[in-house]
A and B are shown apart, each in its own frame.
Chain A
């Protein structure tokens, strides 16, 4: 069964304190792994797509990496405005546009 698990559930960092969020997945025939940022009461905002093991993508203080079983979202020198819930998702293997989402990591960056 397709499954996505994210850890930790919540993370508090001091401003400038780098860390990593984990997304492990079980799916046959990965067709992409997606990272989103979600602010309270808003829809998820697309961040990155990764397609193959070893691939990396960067955007400002964020860098996403992918292995055959998991993905990491590295946050370097975070700022308070990076506080949000970060979600990862994979397309289901059923050949549709259905995506399987993790439950997210709630990140709080303290000034």
Chain B
């Protein structure tokens, strides 16, 4: 069974640009969550989607947005990039049985803003 797939693995962008990251969850999983990981802050929750609906959003500015498609694939977008957005962005998919089933992560997208 294929795991969570994130593309691209690495990105270098310039301040002010925007970026789109993609995540394909484990087959059959309808829940996708996004996290930002930085050395100082650890894993910070961005947002989660279930069946194309955003169910929860973390404490991030509106420059961070996302969506989920009917095949459960998800994208997140960051507009007007800032240097502080440099981080590892992780996508996780979860079983439909509920959060007690755990979250399974992709390898992440390393975003560097210069």
Residues of B close to A42: CB separation below 8 A: 107-108
Sorting the interface of chain A by its residue count into under 10, 10 to 19, 20 to 34 or 35 or more gives 20 to 34
What's the Cα separation between A41 and B39 when bound, in Å? Answer: 11
How far apart sit A53 and B13, CA to CA, in the bound complex (Å)? 47
Residues of B within 8 A of A (CB): 4, 6, 31, 33, 35, 42-43, 45, 48, 50, 55-56, 58, 88, 90, 92, 94, 98-108, 110
Instruction: Give the chain B neighbours of A51 by CB distance below 8 A.
Output: 100
CA distance A96 to B57 in the complex (A): 10
Residue of B at shortest CB range from A87? B43
Contact call A97/B99, Cβ cutoff below 8 A: yes
Give the 7 A-B residue pairs with the shortest CB-CB distance, closest first.
A91-B99, A43-B105, A103-B42, A101-B43, A32-B100, A31-B100, A96-B56
**Please, which residues of chain A bring their CB within 8 A of the CB of B105?**
36, 43-46
Contact in complex: B33, A97 (CB < 8 Å): yes
Contact A98 B108, beta carbon cutoff 8 Å: no
Given A34-B103, A103-B42, list of 4 further CB < 8 A pairs?
A31-B98, A45-B105, A49-B100, A104-B42
Interface residues of A in 69-111 (CB under 8 A from B): 87, 89, 91-92, 94, 96-104
Which A residues are in CB contact (< 8 Å) with B33?
A: 97-99
Select from chain A the residue with minimum beta-carbon distance to B109. A43
B99 touching A41 by the CB < 8 A rule? no
User: How far in angstroms is the closest Cβ of chain A from B72?
Assistant: 13
Are A32 and B42 CB-contacts (below 8 A) given A42-B107, A43-B107, A97-B33? no
* Residue with the highest number of chain A CB atoms closer than 10 Å, among B43, B90, B94: B43
